[in-house]
Amino acid sequence: MISPELNFNLFTSDLSHYFKNQVKVGLFGSGVGLSVVLGFSAAYVCYYLISVAKKPILIAGGKKFHQFLRDKCPVVSETYYPTFWCWESRVQTLLRPFVTAKPWVNYRNELITAPDGGQISLDWFDNDDSASHPDQSTRPTVLLLPGLTGTSRESYILHMVQQSRDLGYRCVVFNNRGVSGEKLLTPRTYCAANTEDLEVVIEHVQRTIDKAPLMAAGVSMGGMMLANYLGRKGSEVRLKGVVVFSAGWDVFECTASLEKPLDRFLFNSYLTSCLQASVDRHRTILEKKYDIDHVMKAKTIREFDERFTSVMFGYPSNDDYYRDASPIHKIKSVQVPMLCLNAADDVFSPNHAFPVEAVKQNPNVALLITYHGGHIGFLEGLWPRQSTYMDRVFRQFTKGVFENGRSLDDLH
């Protein structure tokens, strides 16, 4: 690990050399201009190294899981250096889809039928070229759950597939109903609280590759759904491990945070329009049961949920839906190793609502909190195209569980 002092010395040395060769020093006949620039740059570097670049906080309910993470997932103990020119929460969140690369993945699509007659789209990356796991029947497999309106083509999903490919693993992406181009066959979509489709998918995957070890990773709403599933099913869950990124733990607090003026302007209105666009694509079948015109007039996610989501899934009120959708109430019942990564500056999931006390009481759960990273951001490096801190957490934890999972068999 390069020390902050060495970083600072190298930076100021290079910066001084650059300005001596590129900048005319004679501002008003003196070197004042260069001095100001160097002074400002040095101050910024000092601020970054002291206040921005920090080691994450690791909270684990049991010593065994805590030690496993430090041994097999060393990134949890390393200083996270956010990209120095975009470390602020909202900037990280907004730039992630644009600056990170989208590696090409050739999926094999499968449509499966749900008990209500609806169809669910799965995108498989079989990784048949795997050198480390050539036997497809036993090839370790990761089930991936995208965010609110996400699909298998989101950059963060593609990066996890790429990491899995490099390790020799197989992936399958669970696309929520109606979001990846398939037709809705029944007037039903999805929500964070309802885990019926996820249960169908997990059972199908385990039947299909019954000899292969299976893990799951969920991002944002996908992580919320996954955590809710683990809490509801408890000891029935057969997953080897789970990793959750940027989950919203208390939906009341998440919604309130996104209704603050700036965040409503930057995120809330846009996400509401995305949800409405998804509904409008399936208007023909949905308008048989719901007032779609009323739904299309919603201005916020809360209004959308009041008019559509809570109604669709039969909740007496939107508050009842939000309470049921909040994973914070189910952490105590999780019975498989689950690592959760959140950034303390995530406006989608405010840090005062993190389930710190609940995690401390469950030896199967660990919470990793970075000081910066935004919502599904975690950008690092000068130009964060290829990999993020989140990618490294996923890679190390997944490898640790698949290759050293026996040490996690009994965390109590």
| Calpha distance 116→137 (Å, rounded) | 30
Contact 347, 93 (CB under 8 A): yes
| Calpha distance 140→166 (Å, rounded) | 12
Instruction: Identify the active-site residue in 130, 180, 375, 387.
Output: 375
Please name the helix (run of DSSP H) or strand (run of DSSP E) that holds residue 143, with its range, or none.
Answer: strand 141-145
Instruction: Identify the active-site residue in 133, 346, 372, 387.
Output: 346
C-alpha atoms less than 13 angstroms from C-alpha of 412 in its C-beta half-sphere: 4
For residue 366, give the 3-state DSSP assignment.
strand
Please list the residues that pair with 143 across neighbouring strands.
172, 216
Is 375 among the catalytic positions? Answer: yes
Instruction: Identify the active-site residue in 89, 152, 164, 220.
Output: 220
| Calpha distance 202→215 (Å, rounded) | 10
For strands 170-175 and 365-370, give the pairing.
unpaired
The region, left, alpha or beta by phi > 0 then psi within -120 to 50, assigned to residue 28 is: left
Q: What is the largest CA-CA distance in the chain?
A: 80
Contact 223, 245 (CB under 8 A): yes
C-alpha atoms less than 13 angstroms from C-alpha of 290 in its C-beta half-sphere: 28
Work out the angle at residue 175's Cα, subtended by the Cα atoms of residues 173 and 177, and round it to the nearest 5 degrees: 160
Is 220 among the catalytic positions? Answer: yes
| Calpha distance 77→59 (Å, rounded) | 12
Work out the angle at residue 329's Cα, subtended by the Cα atoms of residues 327 and 331, and round it to the nearest 5 degrees: 70
φ and ψ of 215, to 5 deg: -115, 175
| Calpha distance 390→378 (Å, rounded) | 6
Is 197 among the catalytic positions? Answer: no
* Residues recognised as catalytic: 220, 346, 375
